[in-house]
Structure 1
């Protein structure tokens, strides 16, 4: 649709930004003139140009100034290789695209501490195995090792790392090692620097567990870490220990940054060895929550653009029903995954938490998104006539799950 808009503008408006503005002003003047002419006719007065007044007014030409001045909600996008080929270009292009969405976000009063920006990619095994070799570690195989991107409070780094290791070991994992993520702190704005965490990557593996099973086990480990942090009795740890994600497939680099400097802050992202077949990028506009490092996006599963206006009902519905959630894949440990949502997180973060749980429970991601964010299917002829099974799906679930809408 955007391509169509730009093509239409290029065909209808004079070349160049000034030309576009000129055409827009001329069109508005013509419209105003035709309205005055109509008023004159109604008053019984002759018009200066009756022939022109008789012709219908042209449709107002779109204006690039108007399009580019729209600054509302977050910005989100993705780039992917249809062949599934990993390249650094996919990452560098995503960083450039993310930088072009700066107008979709906001900054603090210092005009430098962004509400949040980030990127999700496949785990860059080529880059990480170079680090492993330099540190005398065995090569890490894709799908067999989990990587956790973790924000640690600077005043309790060692305590938090010990907490994370304890919970991983308790779940049968071997801690392969820790890697301090290289960053340039000079890039961070004044306000964001006050809460800037220490950022490290944790590497774990579990004998005989790979793929989707490993993803589920890593989800359990992360939940265990989060609960231990909350129960630590230390406010700094409880509030500032945060796992961006822990996975054997994907990794998230994010923070209270402007979108244009994500790659300048995280030095990994400019490394030619950082390769991925896809990149999801996001620029945050904080609406109903204050900016925080953990609330930057992408989240663990989603990069969400918008505001969820049904949030209170969604949180209450989830809280009232989570005790009944059950699936054999959890082997009776569902209660350890709770609470699924929390009022301290943003609307997007809560949607992500619930979606993650359902996906880890074995539901297809397409079904989960349709279930949580249903289409407005009623009085939709194309939906009811051409896709009646989808309409039936929405009708069935609307009595069981309140849609996350806004």
Structure 2
């Protein structure tokens, strides 16, 4: 579901928090079978693997869309953003009560066959750039020069840094 460039510096705390929640979780969908999904975070995985475990759990057991799960785990720097709309701030306020942020520096990309997206962690230490080409290919990276493109084939070119 996910791929990322960077590292999750809060990984140990995120894993510990997830394990602590396993004792109090409930599900109307899985009922008593919820215990079969534990541990949510499998042993011996990289930070990408751990993130993917939790993201998939939120989507499959938590009935969240992939973008909602990603935004819950990797919120924007929303608290002092005076330009952010009320609805999005309300989402992040709710998300902050459900889970601690998975902070990097990281650029995370996600795809499930329905949605494709990318998100920068709130620390803003990893840039993101993407190209959209005439043949409908999307290239996303935090580095320059990952793929050589004929300039005429690029329809859109965007470089994002943290606000």
Task: Please indicate the TM-score interval, normalised by the length of the shorter structure.
Answer: 0.5 to 0.7
The residue that corresponds to 2:91 in the other structure is 393
The residue that corresponds to 1:376 in the other structure is 77
Partner Cα separation in structure 1 for residue 72 and residue 30 of structure 2: 21
The residue that corresponds to 1:360 in the other structure is 60
Partner Cα separation in structure 1 for residue 20 and residue 99 of structure 2: 11
Over aligned residues, Cα RMSD in angstroms?
1.4
TM-score normalised according to structure 1 size = 0.24
Partner Cα separation in structure 1 for residue 36 and residue 94 of structure 2: 29
The residue that corresponds to 1:309 in the other structure is 9
Q: Give ranges in structure 1 of 5+ residues lacking alignment.
A: 1-300
Deviation track 1:147-177 (CA, whole Å, cap 9, x = no partner) reads xxxxxxxxxxxxxxxxxxxxxxxxxxxxxxx
> 2:10·2:103 contact (CA, 8 Å) conserved in 1?
yes
TM-score normalised according to structure 2 size = 0.59
The residue that corresponds to 1:64 in the other structure is none
Partner Cα separation in structure 2 for residue 343 and residue 308 of structure 1: 16
Deviation track 1:367-390 (CA, whole Å, cap 9, x = no partner) reads 11111111110221221xxx2111
> 2:26·2:34 contact (CA, 8 Å) conserved in 1?
yes
Q: Which has the larger radius of gyration?
A: 1
The residue that corresponds to 1:321 in the other structure is 21
Shift in Å, 1:356: 0.6
Structure with greater proportional strand content:
2
Structure with greater proportional helix content:
1
Q: Give ranges in structure 2 of 5+ residues lacking alignment.
A: 105-163
3-state SS of 2:14 partner: helix
Alignment of 1:163-174 (within 5 A): none
Partner Cα separation in structure 1 for residue 87 and residue 64 of structure 2: 18
Partner Cα separation in structure 2 for residue 366 and residue 325 of structure 1: 22
Partner Cα separation in structure 1 for residue 8 and residue 17 of structure 2: 14
Alignment of 1:3-402 (within 5 A): 301-361=1-61, 362-383=63-84, 387-402=85-100
3-state SS of 2:35 partner: helix
Count of aligned positions: 103
Shift in Å, 1:347: 0.8
3-state SS of 1:303 partner: strand
Deviation track 1:295-322 (CA, whole Å, cap 9, x = no partner) reads xxxxxx1122221011111011001002
